[in-house]
Amino acid sequence: MGDRILILYGSYRSDRQGIRLADYLVASFTARGAAVELIDAKAIDLPILDRMYKEYPAGEAPPKLAELAAKIRAADAFVFVTGEYNWGVQPGLKNLTDHFLEEWFWRPAAIASYSAGRFAGARAGLAWHGTLSEMGMVVISSSLAVGGIGQAFDADGAPAGSGGAALERAFPRFADDLAWWTEAAREQRAKRPPPY
């Protein structure tokens, strides 16, 4: 069985552009042999954070929260697909992420950012780097950044134009980097339990 990767996407907008990047990543990692699942914050639609999963008494968490916690714990790695909102992170993705903590520990994470403009969501990617590290993940050094997201894919979701070409050139290194850290983390967890 290939690496178990969750692709997490957080836009709640009506005309979501980044979903095409998320779908591209699902297809591309699947083609490399990974077992991939898209976790769409809008589809799951968690309430604004009031109580983290771990704060519910055993067996009393809402079913969709318990189901997502199990998927996070079972994953080998994560890819966070994030747009940039006014130099910051998407609230939908941040809200989904903040419902959990220990579930994320000791696995690698990768960041794929996007925006309509030329900075390609890089500022949101930078913000996510610190957040994910604080939440116990090892964030890989490779990242994907897609500018002009509205023109980077064609109507069928295939990479298009210069933005799509840049994405296709960058993806192999991004995926290789994540695969290396995924294997390293899995082997280390098999050798001995994490220290906390």
Which pLDDT tens digit goes with each residue over 154-180? 988 899 999 999 999 999 999 999 999
Report the C-alpha gap between 11 and 82 in whole angstroms.
8
Per-residue pLDDT averaged across 7-16, rounded? Answer: 93
What confidence score (pLDDT) does residue 80 get? Answer: 98
Q: For the chain, give the mean pLDDT.
A: 95
Per-residue pLDDT averaged across 1-5, rounded? Answer: 90
Residue 66: both structure tokens together: 């318990």
Model-level pTM? 0.96
Map 140-195 to HEC letters: EEEEEEECCHHHCECCCCCECHHHHHHHHHHHHHHHHHHHHHHHHHHHHHHHCCCC
Per-residue pLDDT averaged across 122-141, rounded? Answer: 95
What confidence score (pLDDT) does residue 67 get? Answer: 97
Residue 148: both structure tokens together: 């002009």
Q: pLDDT (tens digit, 9 = 90+) per residue, 96-130?
A: 999 999 999 999 999 999 998 888 989 999 999 99
* CATH code that applies to domain 4-191: 3.40.50.360
Place of tokens 């419902």: 99
Report the C-alpha gap between 37 and 75 in whole angstroms.
10
Q: Please, what is the end-to-end C-alpha distance for the chain in angstroms?
A: 27
Instruction: pLDDT band for 8, please (50, 70, 90 cuts).
Output: very high
Any idea where the domains of the chain sit in the sequence?
Answer: 4-191
Report the C-alpha gap between 28 and 173 in whole angstroms.
12
What confidence score (pLDDT) does residue 117 get? Answer: 85
Q: pLDDT (tens digit, 9 = 90+) per residue, 62-106?
A: 999 999 999 999 999 999 999 988 888 999 999 999 999 999 999
Q: 75 with 6: CB under 8 angstroms?
A: yes
